[in-house]
Amino acid sequence: MSKLIYVLNGPNLNLLGTREPSVYGVIKLEDLENRLNNLAKGLGCTIEFRQSNHEGELIDWIHEAGAKKAPIILNAGAYTHTSIAIYDALKAVESDCIEVHLSNIFKREDYRHHSFISGASIGIISGFGVKSYELALMAYSEHSS
């Protein structure tokens, strides 16, 4: 049985490929999911890939992953910088979390430099576009070996 990893995506990530392609790239969310599924198979993992624009739904999925003790790769989008509720959810479950961002949040607006998610994560990967997700999947695979 392969290891299950949740890949959770926050607000506006459904617009990948069309939203500010100079910042977020041109790949669509469904293409990202396909790339990660292929990589996961090679690493002996399966992924549960989800996206929501709603904070509560992301929290419910964090709880679901926690109930399964499944690790989480989380791009919380703008909630990264605002959501104590998501931080609390991550702290409440027994699941490792790797925080990911497509862009380098530290080269952007000052308000993006603070992450509530980082304090509840085993690591952060930022600034490599869709490769950030792939690096997180590989890092988790090696971290949990």
Q: What b/e sequence results for 24-48 when a residue is b if at least 16 CB atoms lie within 10 Å of its CB, and e otherwise? A: bbebebeebbebbeebbeebebebe
* 103-95-87 Cα angle (round to 5): 55
Query: 90 CB contacts (<8 Å, ≥6 apart)?
Result: 62, 72, 74, 97, 117, 120, 121
* Residue positions annotated with a catalytic role: 24, 101
By CB neighbour count within 10 A (0-12 exposed, 13-18 middle, 19+ buried), where does 86 fall? Answer: buried
